[in-house]
Chains A and B, each alone.
Chain A
Amino acid sequence: MAKLHISTTINGEPEEFLCTPDETMLDVLRNQLDLTGAKEGCGSGDCGACSITLDGTLVCSCLMLAAEAEGKKITTIEGMAEGETLHPLQQKFLEEAALQCGICTPGMLIAAKALLDENPDPTETEVRFWLAGNLCRCTGYDKIIRAVLDTAADMRGAA
């Protein structure tokens, strides 16, 4: 299969890569670009561990063809902190122990940030339904939901 040449932007930096037409964005991120923060938990869009944003929209990178990245802006977990400064969600997840094993954490953070970008004052129910596509088997979600709500409150206070 002939490879396609793709020009895109990842975490604010221009990036080029070659991929086959059937290759997923997740495989290119993980196997070519050394961006292994996105995880493959299912490969079928059910667990959300591979969450990234594409032009600001939350997507499962396992369901996206790498070729679709052409001309788009991609953000992964590796681009969430600004230099040494963690995003408030990252910091709150640590402070409130909103992770145990940590495998769902990158996807959960990307999804939570996409929510707060769209809705800075979500209700608990809105957070729960927004994150319903991000599976966590360790925490029972309690501390994750609280961390997202508390971050939202902090960010509103700071704004």
Chain B
Amino acid sequence: MSGSDNKWIGENTIRPDGADKVTGRAAFAADTSMPGMIWGKVLRSPHAHAVIKGIDTSKAEALPGVKAVMTAADIVDFPTDTPVALGIQDMRWMCRNVMAREKALFHGHPVAAVAAMTEAIAAEACKLIEVDYEVLPHAIEIDDALAPDAPILHDFIEFEGKPSNIAGTIEHTKGDVEAGFAEADVVIERDFTTRPVHQGYIEPHACLVSVASDNKTTIWSSSQGQFMVRAMVGLLTGLTQSDIRAIPAEIGGGFGGKTIVYLEPLATILSKKSGRPVKMTMTREEVMRASGPTSGSKSTIKIGVKKDGTITAAEGIYWLQAGGLPGAPVRGAVGCALAPYDIANGHTLGYDVVCNRSKVAAYRAPGAPIGAFGVECVIDELAEAIGMDPLDLRLKNAAREGTQAVHGPTYPVMGYVESLTSAKAHEHYNAPLGPNQGRGVASGFWFNAGGESSAQVNITEDGNVVVTTGHPDIGGSRAGIANICAELLGIDYKRISVLIGDTATIGFSNLTGGSRVLFASSMVVTESTKNIIRTLCELAAKIWDIDPDAVEWEDGAARPAGANAGQFDPLTLAELAARANETGGPIGAGAQVNTTGAEGGFGTHICDVEVDPELGIARVIRYTVLQDVGRAVHPAYVEGQMQGGAAQAIGWALNEEYLYDKDGKVDNPGFLDYRMPVASDLPMLDTHIIEIPNPKHPQGVRGVGEVPLVPGLSAVRNAVYNAIGIRFNDLPLSPPRILAALDVREAAE
């Protein structure tokens, strides 16, 4: 558990960016303007699948007020036969996603963009662009894309020697599943589907870009990585990275959906062409049609157990929608699906299926909720079949330190078992249920991530601290960093300002994503701060004329130690900073590390629902999230991650889905009809933080943010089963679906 000797780690301090955020001062992507700024607008494909035979922009260019028009011809082309990787993205697909090249691949796919004096003129000009389309048949659903006569999206994709919409596979195998199933007393095999869901950030994508005549480029945008923005814009426009300064605006939610660019390269090209700063914002409808979401999926899950509960074999076969270009989160589905369990014989296989929907983007534990959904449902059914408590069945097979996961790694010390035993002992799990109420449980895993991070810690002349890191702060990470730095320096956290640097002012830092930010940034901040403390001790030693090794840092001051203990009065940070000029100069230190040691995260959820048999509404009435977080540096924001993930899971399970019309057009591109949870849909979301420190991290931190989305889909579904006795294997459990199932049962009775 957390060290009781900590003063700031574990405290719910006020976030450094808090006052700006409650007064409306914080500048998000759309909140910045520039002198001479003009507005950009995107023309989007009205077809779900069409060859672009030609584009005539002359009438748009002639419209008064129009300053620039662009098409895919202005974007660097990455030929389809040569991969160009940038992180998990491939520039072959990115260059075709930001603007349709040979083909429009989904309704809403950008085909051209205009910059004009006003947004209205830009929109008017878009209507004057003439695009010659050859409309093709489209495939939205997985089964449509896999049908023998399916329209093939890309002639360069082949599977098993034939043109196909299957763009790739990932497979994990351990042991021999057929032999394992033969050993089982009970084997259950079920088919499942999940619908594509959007990340649902409240801030639409937006940017402001200025390209000067010498190519010096400034980009204000909200993203999950200013360095990703710099790199992608450089690659897509041909600008050199050193000419691009990407400034991270405050980001209004991302959840993975802002780990790629949409507007920035277009605004950059329009700015270069027009010679003016260009601002672009998406409408909510554009966000829903053309950004995100995560994949829809279908899967077949087969698990066998002995009567004593031992899982003898487990298999999961998954198909995930990639959207118009390859890249569904297959790795998360096949890697995380069986990860909570110690299984001798396991097999997972996932297919990346292209279809005429917007290209998927990462969404909180990308693929993992899809992977876990069917597995956690079948485990629930198996528990009932052998008459075992569902938590006990999980405990019987729980992965522990030393377990070799089906997806490969051998686990270090971690707290999955503790999440189960805590759930079993929790008052919630043992509370009585009323009529039409039911309870479900489920578990989940996410890999977590390390990677590149940079920090600079500077001591101000008045003896305070400025910390700069390279990760956009989405959920309060600045508050966690302030706590850690305050703890190490032994000073009040309010003396520490934590800022997010732009690409010109801080070293390369990888994305805010994968639950990596506090893990990685606290490593570089710790290293920098420890270097500063060493410098401060050296300065004090110089002043005292003793050996630096005979100085220790405690409670915000250098103190003589060892044989010199008590010989000199302590020198505080402020005193040392004031004398820095005479003793050595500016005090600061930076660190740039490719961090490792981010161990996986596990959690278990308990969900109670009440189902209205007349209306078919399943309402979550109680929810508890239990998770090993390693160390809760700022507990309130850790709880916030657990609660936010659970809420998104509830939305995915109960209501969220895209509806398409017969022409392949999204029918519900707005918050009224795409139904995310609102305040009156949810109960309080209880949290139970478990702290099994990560031994590979200076503060014991594990990633937190992704895990809480993973178990929720099945926890809700299992609760609905417990309430009304019907096992739903297709999400969402929306009122029409529940009512239909109740009607079918009634007719049969």
Contact = CB atoms under 8 A, between A and B. Distances in A.
Partners in one complex: yes
A140 B646 contact: yes
A95 B14 contact: yes
B26 interface: yes
Contact of A144 (B18, B23, B200, B679): B679
A131 interface: yes
A94 B19 contact: yes
Given A36-B31, A46-B671, A49-B202, A141 B640 contact: no
A88 B15 CA distance: 17
B27 interface: yes
Nearest to B623: A140
Given A78-B23, A80-B23, A128-B680, A100 B18 contact: no
B485 interface: no
Given A80-B23, A140-B643, A94 B15 contact: yes
Interface in B196-214: 199-204
Contacts of A125: 680
A25 interface: no
A100 B364 CA distance: 15
B299 to A, nearest CB: 26
B23 A77 contact: yes
B25 to A, nearest CB: 7
B283 interface: yes
Interface string A104-140: 1110010000000000000001011101111111111
A143 B27 contact: no
A104 B202 contact: yes
A97 B636 CA distance: 6
With most chain B CB atoms within 10 A of its CB, the pick from A77, A136, A141 is A141
Contact of A86 (B19, B201, B647, B678): B19
With most chain A CB atoms within 10 A of its CB, the pick from B253, B283, B637, B681 is B253
A142 interface: yes
Contacts of A132: 678-681
Interface stretch (A2-10, A37-45, A64-72): A37-45
Contacts of B678: 131-133, 135
A37 B23 contact: yes
Nearest to A76: B24
Nearest to A125: B680
B256 to A, nearest CB: 12
Interface in B1-35: 12, 14-15, 17-19, 21-28, 30-31, 33
A36 B30 CA distance: 9
Contact of A128 (B15, B21, B255, B679): B679
B202 to A, nearest CB: 4
A100 B477 CA distance: 9
B202 A41 contact: yes
A101 B474 contact: yes
B640 A139 contact: yes
A35 B204 CA distance: 18
Given A43-B284, A100-B474, A135 B202 contact: yes
B644 interface: yes
Contact of B475 (A35, A78, A101): A101
A153 interface: no
B265 to A, nearest CB: 23
Contacts of B474: 100-101, 138
B685 interface: yes
B670 interface: yes
A141 B676 contact: no
Contact of B22 (A30, A43, A93, A100): A93
B684 A96 contact: no
B502 interface: no
A135 B474 CA distance: 16
Interface residues of B, number: 57
A138 B475 contact: yes
B44 to A, nearest CB: 16
Contact of A101 (B22, B24, B253, B639): B253
B284 A42 contact: yes
A30 B28 CA distance: 12
A37 B25 contact: yes
B255 to A, nearest CB: 7
A93 B251 CA distance: 18
B644 A138 contact: yes
A94 to B, nearest CB: 4
Contacts of B671: 41-42, 44, 46-47, 135
A38 B203 CA distance: 12
Contact of B640 (A35, A46, A143): A143
A36 B656 CA distance: 30
B253 A90 contact: no
B724 interface: no
Contacts of A142: 639, 643, 682, 684-685
Contacts of B30: 30, 36, 39-40
Contacts of B646: 140
Contacts of B507: none
Nearest to A99: B21
Interface in B379-396: none
A74 interface: no
A140 B682 contact: yes
A54 interface: no
A102 B21 contact: yes
B250 interface: yes
A136 B685 CA distance: 14
Interface string A82-98: 00001000100111110
A45 to B, nearest CB: 8
A108 to B, nearest CB: 9
Contact of B670 (A35, A39, A42): A42
B560 interface: no
A59 interface: no
A146 B14 CA distance: 17
A142 B682 CA distance: 8
B327 interface: no
With most chain B CB atoms within 10 A of its CB, the pick from A37, A77, A125 is A37
A109 B21 CA distance: 11
A155 interface: no
B284 A135 contact: no
A41 B681 CA distance: 20
A136 B250 CA distance: 16
Given A76-B24, A138-B644, A41 B679 contact: no
B476 interface: yes
A82 B204 CA distance: 30
A30 B27 CA distance: 12
A143 B24 contact: no
Given A139-B644, A142-B643, A103 B28 contact: yes
B24 A137 contact: no
A140 B607 CA distance: 14
A144 to B, nearest CB: 7
A58 interface: no
A104 B676 CA distance: 14
A145 interface: yes
A132 B684 CA distance: 14
Nearest 4 Cβ contacts at the A-B interface: A37-B24, A103-B252, A140-B647, A97-B636
Interface of A: 30-31, 35-44, 46-47, 49, 76-78, 80-81, 86, 90, 93-97, 99-106, 109, 125, 127-129, 131-146
18 contacts: A38-B24, A39-B203, A41-B671, A42-B671, A47-B671, A94-B22, A97-B636, A97-B637, A99-B22, A103-B28, A128-B680, A134-B679, A137-B253, A137-B648, A138-B644, A139-B647, A140-B643, A140-B648
